[in-house]
C-alpha cells in the first residue's frame, strides 16, 4: 500500500493501516534484540551508515532521536540516479529502497548500537518486501554497509540474532551494495518531526519513537 502523497488519503490510512511494532516489542515478555557481540572499532571520525526498513519517515524519525547521531537524510538507495524520485520508486521496479543516511559520532554511538536499535525498534526483519501497511521491494529491510568493518559487524549480528532465535520467523534483512544514495524530495525530510499528528505517523511511526525512549532510554534524546 503506497502512501500516495504526504497529505492525501488520510482517512484511508486510518481505516486500513495496521499498527506495526517490531516482533521484539509485540507483546509483554518478548525481549528486544540482544546487544551485539561484535562492535566496530572506534575511530575519531564521523561515520555514515545507510538503513532501509520500510517507509523512510519512520526510519528517519527514530534515528533522529538517537544520541550520537548528528544528521539524518531520507532518500533512495539501490537503483540508478535517474529513477531516484518518489513516484517512480513507488512503482516498485527501480531497485531502490526507501532508506535513510545516518551520520554519527562513533565515539558516542557504535554502528553495532545502531544495528540493535534498527532490529529492535525500526523494522520487522522477518518481512519480505513490505513493512506494516506498505508493500513492495522499495519497503524492504536492507542494510547498505559503507565500509568493510560495517559489513563484518552487520553479518555477525544477523548471524547472532538468527542463532538466538530472537524472531519467530527467519531474518529476511539483506546486506546490499549500492552505487549511491540519493536524497529524497524536500517534503519527505524530517516528515515525522514536521507532521507529528499526520495519521500515518500516529499509527505507524510514533510508536517506534516511544519504544526507543522506553527500551533504550540511555540512547534516546528528545
Q: Which residues are catalytic?
A: 55
Cell numbers at 174, concatenated: 539483506
Per the CB < 8 A criterion, the answer to whether 189 and 150 are in contact is: no
Dihedral over Cα of 206, 30, 51, 85: its sign: negative
End-to-end CA distance of the chain, in Å? 30
For residue 41, the tally of other CB atoms under 10 A from its CB is 9
What is the C-alpha to C-alpha distance for residues 147 and 126, in angstroms, rounded to an integer? 25
Torsion (CA) 139, 143, 144, 150 in degrees, nearest 10: 170
Rounded distance, CA 86 to CA 98, Å? 9
Within 10 Å of residue 119's Cβ, how many Cβ atoms?
Answer: 28
C-alpha cell at 99: 532508506
Q: Is 126 exposed, middle or buried (0-12, 13-18, 19+ CB in 10 A)?
A: middle
3-state secondary structure of 71: strand
Amino acid at each position: 500500500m503506497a502512501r500516495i502523497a504526504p497529505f492525501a488519503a488520510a482517512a484511508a490510512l486510518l481505516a486500513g493501516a495496521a499498527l506495526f511494532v517490531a516482533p521484539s516489542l509485540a507483546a509483554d515478555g518478548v525481549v528486544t534484540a540482544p546487544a551485539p557481540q561484535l562492535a566496530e572499532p572506534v575511530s575519531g571520525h564521523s561515520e555514515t551508515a545507510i538503513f532501509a526498513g520500510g517507509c523512510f519517515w519512520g526510519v528517519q524519525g527514530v534515528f533522529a532521536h538517537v544520541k550520537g547521531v548528528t544528521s539524518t537524510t531520507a532518500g533512495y538507495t539501490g537503483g540508478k540516479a535517474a529513477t531516484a524520485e518518489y513516484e517512480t520508486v513507488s512503482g516498485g521496479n527501480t531497485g531502490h529502497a526507501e532508506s535513510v543516511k545516518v551520520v554519527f559520532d562513533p565515539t558516542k554511538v557504535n554502528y553495532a548500537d545502531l544495528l540493535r536499535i534498527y532490529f529492535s525498534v525500526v523494522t520487522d526483519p522477518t518481512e519480505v518486501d513490505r513493512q506494516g501497511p506498505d508493500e513492495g521491494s522499495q519497503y524492504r529491510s536492507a542494510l547498505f554497509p559503507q565500509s568493510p568493518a560495517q559489513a563484518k559487524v552487520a553479518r555477525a549480528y544477523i548471524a547472532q540474532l538468527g542463532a538466538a532465535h530472537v524472531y519467530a520467523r527467519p531474518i529476511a534483512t539483506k546486506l546490499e551494495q549500492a552505487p549511491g544514495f540519493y536524497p529524497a524530495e524536500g517534503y519527505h525530510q524530517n516528515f515525522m518531526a514536521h507532521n507529528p499528528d499526520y495519521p500515518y505517523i500516529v499509527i505507524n511511526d510514533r510508536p517506534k519513537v516511544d519504544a526507543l525512549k522506553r527500551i533504550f532510554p540511555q540512547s534516546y534524546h528528545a
